[in-house]
């Protein structure tokens, strides 16, 4: 299957990465190279094989459902590009 520049634009949008229109054909060509390589997987007979979820079969550990951490507002906001009044600040989200 071949990826057109329009598809590349849609993927860039989904990934929230701005790609200039003039860069789309080259990007689509790179996708095609990589996806062409990935196509080999179609040769493999995977009937009856479960998709791997965990490489080492183990049960996730459980613990008491209690608060174990918190009260770190200052630390959490410390690296924010823009923080005000104890919140992360972003451009207007709702009109």
Partner 1 sequence: MMGELTKLTLAEARDKLRAREVSSLELTEACLSAIEGAGALNAFVHHTPEIARDQARAADARLAAGDAPAMCGLPIGVKDLFCTKGVPSQAASRILQGFLPEYESTVTSQLFDAGAVMLGKLNMDEFAMGSSNETSCYGNVVNPWRRGNDDTALTPGGSSGGSAAAVAADLCLAATGTDTGGSIRQPAAFTGIVGIKPTYGRCSRWGIVAFASSLDQAGPMTKTVRDSAIMLGAMCGHDPKDSTSADLAVPDFEAMLTGDIRGKVIGIPKEYRMDGMPAEIEKLWADGTAMLKAAGAEIREISLPHTKYALPAYYVIAPAEASSNLARYDGVRYGHRAKLAQGDGITEMYEKTRAEGFGHEVQRRVMVGTYVLSAGFYDAYYNRARRVRALIKRDFDQVFAAGIDAILTPATPSAAFGLGEMKDADPVQMYLNDVFTVTVNLAGLPGIAVPTGVDGQGLPLGLQLIGRPWEEGDLLNTAYALEQAAGFVAKPGKWW
Please tell me whether residue 50 binds partner 1 under the rule CB under 8 A.
yes
Closest approach, Cβ 50 to partner 1, in A, equals 6
The two three-digit tokens of residue 11, written as one number: 């993927």
Integer Cα distance of 30 and 27 in angstroms: 5
Integer Cα distance of 64 and 70 in angstroms: 16
Q: Are residues 2 and 29 in contact, defined by beta-carbon separation less than 8 angstroms?
A: no
Closest approach, Cβ 67 to partner 1, in A, equals 15
Give me the residues that bind partner 1 (CB under 8 A), please: 3, 8, 11-12, 14-19, 27, 30-31, 33-35, 37-44, 46, 49-56, 58, 60-61, 63, 72, 75-76, 78-82, 88, 90-93
């Amino acid at each position: 299957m071949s990826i057109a520049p329009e598809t590349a634009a849609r993927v860039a949008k989904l990934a929230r990465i701005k790609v200039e229109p003039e860069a789309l054909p080259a990007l689509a060509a790179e996708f095609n190279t990589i996806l062409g390589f990935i196509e080999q997987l179609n040769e493999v007979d995977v009937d009856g094989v479960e998709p791997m979820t965990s490489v080492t079969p183990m049960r996730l550990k459980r613990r008491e459902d209690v608060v174990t951490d918190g009260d770190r507002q200052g630390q959490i906001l410390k690296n924010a590009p823009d923080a005000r009044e104890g919140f992360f600040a972003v451009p207007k989200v709702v009109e």
